[in-house]
A and B are shown apart, each in its own frame.
Chain A
């Protein structure tokens, strides 16, 4: 499973969000998307899953354009983990995760669907939560449930929109570790928009640094997370330390204009 994004553009009236994004992502790669607020990370993720309709360019999944795929077929191949889950009518964690099987379910839930839910619950270690109301969970627990729901889709591509932004450090590490494990073990390609440069550096195989709707730099964390790149894209002076071969970013001060 290979994902190719070519010349992708998206704009709201009078405001360009994505301006010709081109990138190729390899199978079982953990791909991080970093960049300041408002550079189009979330929009890019949504365009890949056709939640938003790009205005130009295309997203190819193994040579097929995603917009030509049947919606249900696409849902079997791409899983999406939103940044937040809106509060709605109460549902149990189990029912929330079971929803990930929707692309496979006609009306009846089969034994296989239940098995897949239970396996994912086990994988994420959230057995104790499974019959509690989703609305009563903490932020970290919710995020794990949302990851579980997407994994239940049996996707080949997993899209995650800043899954760690509201979590404490333990939950951050747990969620990142889970994603890393899944990409390695199941050959899933994961694309994650992420704010924390050090988490991106530590877990992602490659990162793309976005700036103003374009990709400013793409490559391994060592190549991308440099003092110069961060200064020009974020406007921040940093020191980059070497932490076991991975760059570790220490913010110093905003660049004076």
Chain B
């Protein structure tokens, strides 16, 4: 090795390391922002609770001896804890989990379909869920009866959409076939939802429209298994996130083209189908409870990619946190902007995300975006 090339090589290595550090820093910053945002969101509501009292009430659950919110003129300590843990935190936690899941599903879809427009919504998963919910709301029918008819219907139809995409692209699982099959399915279910709305009563249609806005208002964590919808979503995420993170390198390789990915030892068809089902499953589990919260899945991966690049080892965790922060921030705005009215969070996500997205888009120096 000649003396000249040694420093050059070391310089490249050092520069690469600093790249990696930047990516880790981004993830760490979001990890700090999230609890700050939780603290702020927890103070909002009709009862006056300070930021300190909110943190104390949250920590009280884990360390009852060390943390206890100071009683105020109107509320005693126990009431503050109860308000936090039964009214405010479930909504906040659902916001975080839904943000994580939807953003992650979007990032995975974009990676396996190599399409910047891909998200569980583009592929008809959301419109199928909407159709399932409409079916329950307007006709009162579903595949599983009972009190959870809307939830079950939304979930089942979302998974039916995923299955249809799979069946339509079974011969050639190319990204293009899957995207086109997904778009066809989206139109089919939208048309079916419209037909239902056409025959439905005014109040029913209104309920459908409200469901499709998406809302975190149905958040709950019961004391017993499966701990309400929050418990279910948390379990889904705990089961799927490790798998997806392990497949980061496969997702990276897919970006280099199917042939290259195959030559690098990736089972392209298998990974594409598995990840499509997992992303659909995550989305279905979330929107069955929240209604269709759009935009997060499409834009959070892009926002993250613009900041830290497309290495999925960092992109996936980064996207999860961007989604959590964006959805929680949007819900916080939704709760305060016309208080005491609460806007559906699905409306606010776009109003908040678009300016950030456009700003980053304009800053790019060409290339992909």
Chain A residues at the B interface, C-beta cutoff of 8 Å? 46, 49-51, 71-76, 78-80, 82, 85-92, 94-96, 99-100, 102-103, 105, 107, 114, 118, 121-122, 127, 130-131, 133, 135-136, 149-150, 153, 159
Contact = CB atoms under 8 A, between A and B. Distances in A.
Contacts of A80: 259-260, 263
Contact of B16 (A46, A86, A94, A99): A94
Interface stretch (B6-14, B25-33, B72-80, B320-328): B6-14
Contact of A72 (B8, B19, B248, B265): B265
Interface stretch (B250-258, B340-348, B353-361): B250-258
The 7 closest A-B pairs by CB, nearest first: A75-B265, A80-B263, A89-B310, A72-B265, A71-B265, A88-B255, A86-B257
B277 interface: no
Nearest to A94: B16
B5 interface: yes
B267 interface: yes
A107 B311 contact: no
Contact of B262 (A51, A91, A92, A95): A51
Chain B interface mostly helix, strand, loop or mixed? Answer: helix
Contacts of A87: 368
A121 B8 CA distance: 11
Interface string B123-161: 000000000000000000000000000000000000000
Given A88-B114, A107-B248, A50 B368 contact: no
Contacts of A127: 5, 8-9, 11-12
Given A127-B12, A131-B15, A131-B16, A103 B368 contact: no
A131 B309 CA distance: 12
B9 A71 contact: no
A149 B305 CA distance: 22
Given A99-B256, A107-B246, A136-B367, A92 B265 contact: no
A114 B16 contact: yes
B264 interface: yes
Residue from B5, B16, B252, B305 with most neighbouring chain A CB atoms (10 Å): B16
B113 to A, nearest CB: 11
A46 B262 CA distance: 10
A85 B254 CA distance: 11
B88 interface: no
B309 A102 contact: no
A57 B217 CA distance: 62
B276 to A, nearest CB: 18
28 contacts: A51-B263, A71-B266, A71-B267, A74-B265, A75-B263, A79-B263, A85-B257, A88-B310, A88-B368, A89-B255, A91-B309, A92-B19, A94-B12, A99-B249, A99-B260, A99-B264, A102-B253, A102-B265, A103-B265, A121-B12, A127-B5, A127-B8, A127-B9, A127-B11, A131-B19, A136-B367, A149-B256, A149-B260
A162 to B, nearest CB: 13
Contacts of B266: 71, 102
B228 interface: no
Interface string B235-248: 00000000001101
